[in-house]
Amino acid sequence: MTDMINAFRQGKRSTKVKDHRDIAATDVAPLAKHYAQQKAERPKSATSPELVVRGEALYLKRCADCHVDNGRDSDKEAPLTAAQDLNYLVAQTLAFKTGERKFPYLMDGAYRDLSEEDLTAVAHFFAAQDQIAPQQKRRRRR
């Protein structure tokens, strides 16, 4: 989290939030700690069931290695995407596609040949996920 905040501050990671560059270096560690401790669930966005199904198929082929557990966990410094706001997800994925936002090195292959409709479907899939994994029901032994 600290590296991500510093990347925003230094302009190495694109952001639409101009205030990210104004964060003082001394505020980075406490801010990262604060966000790492947040457990509140995000409200769900309204999603299209058809796009969620289409997005899941694309997720499994292209996204699951880095956006682990349907986007609830991360590998290779990928952001957590589960339960993110649908409009935010669509805007960010399209910003990558148009070049407005630069790809992290691993995203190039994942995005290759995906249409705007494909990217929107993946956004619907991530937005439809629970932020916290549902508890598995335990079966009683008889």
75 and 123 assigned to the same domain? yes
68 and 108 assigned to the same domain: yes
Give the CATH number, domain containing residue 53: 1.10.760.10
Q: Both 54 and 122 in a single domain?
A: yes
Question: pLDDT per residue over 62-121, tens digit each?
Answer: 999 989 999 988 887 788 899 999 999 999 888 888 888 877 667 877 888 899 999 999
- Count of CB atoms situated within 10 Å of the CB of 84: 19
Query: What is the number of structural domains in the chain?
Result: 2
Please tell me the chain's helix, strand, coil percentages from 3-state DSSP, rounded to the nearest 5.
55, 0, 45
- % of residues, the chain, pLDDT over 70: 90
Are 13 and 65 in a shared domain? no
Q: What is the Cα gyration radius of the chain?
A: 17
CA–CA distance, 31 with 107 (Å, rounded to integer): 27
Cα 49 from Cα 80, distance rounded (Å): 21
Looking at the structure, tell me whether residues 75 and 17 fall in a common domain. Answer: no
Q: Are residues 77 and 122 in the same domain?
A: yes
pLDDT at 136: 56
Biggest CA–CA distance in the chain, Å, is 61
Say yes or no to pLDDT of 135 above 50.
yes
* Residue 91 and residue 123 in one domain: yes
DSSP annotation of 87 reads H
Q: Are residues 61 and 122 in the same domain?
A: yes
| Residue 141 in domain | no
Structural domain that includes position 31: 2-36
Q: What pLDDT does 138 receive?
A: 47
